[in-house]
């Protein structure tokens, strides 16, 4: 059995609204299947690579050979994103994943948060103990999507970028020096791919109210797609608001999302659940 890297890229691209491509990397010990962020050209970017082991599945962050500037930029972003990173990592661990982090070669204890910059090396591993042969190729593919999504979400929390339109904008501008960042400075919480990624990775891509699954109904084209709802309205977020994507955001289908916004402020999810139970 093997992982379909193209399908993996398609699912994560739809889920996180990022430009991704599939890749296969052969090492001395194993074959790894994964995704690359196509808006950061080699050798200045990174890949998320998935591999199978004995009763385990794991995803790793692999920076390119000349991704030093990218890693240093992630260290700078960690100064403000440490709490979000730790909260998300703890959410993944609560559902059976093991998150391992090393910075500059030293193991990081997440209870103490991420270390201060400068960073010259960053290692991230998300591992889940599972029998990869029990569910056949379909089960393996779904598990690979979930573990890769967890790793990608954690990486995106540390990437110095924000999206300022409803479609993905390039992570990095072309023609800049090695790994140079192009940061969009607008205050658009709902457009942040890191926040969206963290929400979906923590809660899944099935509607939290009615259980609607776009992929199950519409097929591969919609697999992994879901809308993200702000429990705290964006209009009430000031410039100093620190959004927690695990607790402040929820995945909702288009119908449920529209209904909660029929009133201002938006309806509480518990109220919508009560309305749905009466139908």
| pLDDT tens sequence across 46-75 | 999 999 877 889 999 999 999 999 999 999
Confidence bin at 133 (pLDDT 50/70/90): low
pLDDT tens-digit series, residues 142-196: 889 889 999 999 998 898 765 444 433 333 333 333 333 333 333 344 446 667 7
Whether a cis peptide bond, with omega within 30° of 0, leads into 155 is no
93-111 average pLDDT score: 93
What average pLDDT score do residues 206-225 get? 89
Residue spans per domain, the chain: 5-158, 205-278
172 neighbors 127 (Cβ within 8 angstroms):
no
Percent above pLDDT 70 for the chain: 82
Distance of CA 195 to the CA centre of its chain: 8
Contacts of 123 (CB under 8 A, 6+ apart): 60, 61, 100, 101, 102, 103
Name the pTM for this structure.
0.76
Give me the phi and psi of 93, to 5 degrees please.
-70, -30
pLDDT at 53: 79
Q: Does residue 233 surpass a pLDDT of 60?
A: yes
pLDDT for 95 equals: 81
Interacting residues of 165 by C-beta distance below 8 A, sequence separation 6+: 191
Tokens representing 30 are 């194993």
pLDDT band with cut points at 50, 70 and 90 for residue 224: confident
């Amino acid at each position: 059995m093997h992982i379909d890297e193209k399908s993996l890229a398609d699912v994560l691209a739809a889920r996180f609204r990022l430009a991704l491509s599939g890749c296969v990397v052969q090492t001395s010990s194993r074959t790894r299947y994964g995704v690359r962020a196509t808006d950061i050209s080699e050798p200045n970017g990174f890949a998320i690579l998935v591999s199978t082991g004995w009763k385990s599945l794991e995803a790793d962050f692999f920076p390119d050979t000349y991704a030093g500037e990218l890693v240093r930029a992630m260290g700078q972003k960690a100064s403000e994103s440490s709490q979000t990173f730790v909260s998300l990592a703890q959410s993944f661990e609560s559902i059976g994943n093991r998150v391992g982090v090393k910075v500059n070669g030293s193991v990081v204890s997440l209870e103490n948060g991420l270390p201060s910059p400068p960073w010259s090396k960053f290692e991230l591993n998300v591992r889940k103990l599972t029998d990869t042969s029990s569910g056949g190729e379909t089960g393996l593919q779904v598990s690979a999507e979930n573990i890769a999504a967890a790793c990608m979400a954690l990486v995106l929390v540390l990437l110095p970028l924000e999206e300022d339109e409803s479609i993905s904008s390039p992570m990095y501008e072309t023609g800049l020096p090695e790994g140079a960042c192009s940061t969009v400075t607008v205050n658009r919480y709902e457009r942040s791919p890191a926040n969206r990624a963290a929400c979906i990775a923590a809660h899944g891509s099935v509607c939290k109210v009615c259980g609607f699954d776009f992929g199950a109904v519409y097929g591969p084209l919609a697999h992994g797609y879901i809308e993200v709802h702000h429990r705290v309205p964006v209009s009430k977020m000031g410039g100093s608001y620190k959004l927690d994507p695990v607790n402040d955001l929820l995945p909702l289908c288009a119908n449920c999302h529209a209904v909660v916004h029929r009133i201002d402020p938006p309806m509480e999810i518990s109220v919508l659940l009560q309305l749905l139970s009466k139908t």
